[in-house]
Amino acid sequence: MTQHDKEYYRVVTNKVIEALSLHQSLLSEDLNALIRKIGAHFRDRKDDRISNYIDEFVALIIAALSLRIRESVRLATETEDDPIPMEEMMLRSRFFSEEAYGDSVEKMRKIFTKEIEYFVALDMPYSAITAYMSNPTGFLASHKQDIGAFKRYVNVGTGYTYKIKSNIFTILGFASMVAYDLALTELWGYRGDVIGYRGYRNSSFDCPACDEACSVVHPLDTYVFPVHVRCCCIVTPVFMQ
């Protein structure tokens, strides 16, 4: 079996990150399309249930999580000469599912629901919804005389652009790296010539937590990386001498 070096795993890790970046762009388009649909709902006074939009929002997030996890696992399996089919991998099963992120999805659902309810209650025109979603701060600066209830809502800080989208991308990134790192350590466990793993920094950002985690060798049955939600450290196997 091939024993890859650190630079090999750096390339694969960066592929995981690049795939995430591309997917975030596509998901952003889907989310913006949903916002436009909501705007059209208010503009045309359609009778569709508001809950339909909430369901569509949650479905977008769960589908994105599932895709990112499976793609990360696929990239991990391709690092081995004779990879185990990912359907047969245990992946410490609780992580190989969007269910591990259920609480985060529920929180975002509540925030998104609150936003829609405010838009409905305030009878905002489509143009105003679009302007606010695109640039909450700029919208406020030019609409200081707007309805008091809307201003109070925005001041709470739950605006779509600054809160929801950022949180979605953070969770997707973390899910991608968790799935990738766990898949690697599981694959190495099947080899028989790997006694543990260690990390290497893949960023110049000052992070004492990552520095500490990368300073020692970890047993294969432990979960250390990613160290935090934005961790991009490289994980490599430690082979028997």
Give 97-130 pLDDT, tens digit per residue: 666 777 878 887 887 777 666 665 555 555 565 5
Q: How many residues belong to the chain?
A: 241
- Give the per-residue pLDDT at 156: 40
Mean model confidence pLDDT for the chain: 77
Q: Is the pLDDT of residue 162 over 50?
A: no
The C-alpha atoms of residue 142 and residue 226 are separated, in whole angstroms, by: 42
Residue labelled with tokens 């949650």? 58
- Give the per-residue pLDDT at 112: 76
pLDDT, mean of residues 31-55:
70
The C-alpha atoms of residue 75 and residue 8 are separated, in whole angstroms, by: 12
pLDDT digits over 49-61, tens only? Answer: 667 778 888 888 8
Predicted structure pTM score: 0.77
Amino acid at position 109, single letter: R
Residues 6+ apart with CB under 8 A from 185: 197, 220, 235
Confidence of residue 153 (pLDDT cuts 50, 70, 90): very low
